[in-house]
């Protein structure tokens, strides 16, 4: 099952990840570490301990896709340094900033809450 672009969620693994893992290894981490179903069409982000490399796993409805990136300068944020135990959930826009190496991702909320239309009350 795939979801629309606006409803896609991005879950970030809170622990440093050995990025030698490929499809099956990352699939297992989605289930065990994140407690999610890879078939939901969400994005699952894994960051290496060195913070120079990142992998994003996603089921697109026909197969698994992995995006890999290595930064030449700078570091990705370290989710394991966060003081809360709350899951790290980003928007697709925040994922784009993360992949560009933005230093603000993971530190402050960069996107507003999703807009939900109000239901007119029957008067």
Chain mean position to CA 112: 17
Q: State whether residue 11 is helix, strand or coil.
A: strand
pLDDT for 81 equals 83
- Look at the pTM and tell me if it is higher than 0.85: no
The answer to whether residues 88 and 11 touch, using CB atoms and an 8 Å cutoff, is: yes
Helices (runs of H) and strands (runs of E) counted in the chain: 2, 5
Q: Could you give the C-alpha distances from 11 to 37, 61, 114, in angstroms and in order?
A: 11, 18, 16
The answer to whether residues 44 and 13 touch, using CB atoms and an 8 Å cutoff, is: yes
Q: What pLDDT digit, counting tens, does each position of 45-71 carry?
A: 999 999 999 999 999 889 999 999 999
**DSSP-assigned states of every residue in 57-111:** EEE-SSSEEEEEEE-SSS----GGG-S--S-EEE-HHHHHHHHTT-SSTTTS--S
Over range 29-53, report the average pLDDT.
92
């Amino acid at each position: 099952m795939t979801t629309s672009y606006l409803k896609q969620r991005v879950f970030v693994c809170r622990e440093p990840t050995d990025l030698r893992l490929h499809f099956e290894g990352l699939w297992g981490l989605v289930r065990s570490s994140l407690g999610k179903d890879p078939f939901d069409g969400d994005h699952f982000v894994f960051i290496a301990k060195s913070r120079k490399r990142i992998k994003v796993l996603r089921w697109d409805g026909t197969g698994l896709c992995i995006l890999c990136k290595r930064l030449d300068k700078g570091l990705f944020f370290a989710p394991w340094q966060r003081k809360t135990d709350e899951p790290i959930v980003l928007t697709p826009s925040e994922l784009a900033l993360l992949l560009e190496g933005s230093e603000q991702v993971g530190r402050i909320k960069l996107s507003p809450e999703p807009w939900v239309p109000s239901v007119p009350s029957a008067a």
